[in-house]
């Protein structure tokens, strides 16, 4: 299953992408990317089992210490470029 989320709030300059990668590594079985968007939000593009992705979404609502997540929006097609997902790799770009 592929998903794309836009995370809105104080999510840039707080280590959110680094924290998200560490969280994905703890969950396991998720591939994809995370990147900053020009509007101050963060975009996640991920592939994995539905249960693992829902677990990730729950963690993303918490975020790292100095982050504040106001909302996570499901987006059908991110308006930023992502390379093809590499199986077993989740990284920030």
Catalytic, out of 13, 17, 79, 92: 17
10 is catalytic: no
- DSSP string computed for 1-65: -EEEEEEEEE-SSSSHHHHHHHHHHHH-SEEEEEEE-TTS-EEEEEEE-HHHHHHHHHHHHH-ST
29 is catalytic: no
Catalytic, out of 29, 36, 55, 92: 36
By annotation, the residues acting in catalysis are 17, 36
């Amino acid at each position: 299953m592929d998903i794309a989320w836009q995370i809105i709030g104080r999510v840039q300059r707080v280590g959110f992408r680094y924290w998200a990668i560490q969280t994905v590594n703890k969950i396991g079985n998720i591939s994809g990317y995370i990147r900053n968007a020009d509007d101050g939000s963060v975009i996640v593009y991920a592939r994995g089992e539905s249960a693992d992705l829902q677990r990730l979404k729950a963690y993303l609502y918490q975020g790292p210490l100095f982050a504040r997540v106001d909302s996570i929006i499901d987006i059908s097609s991110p308006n930023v470029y992502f390379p093809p997902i590499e199986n077993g790799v989740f990284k920030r770009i």
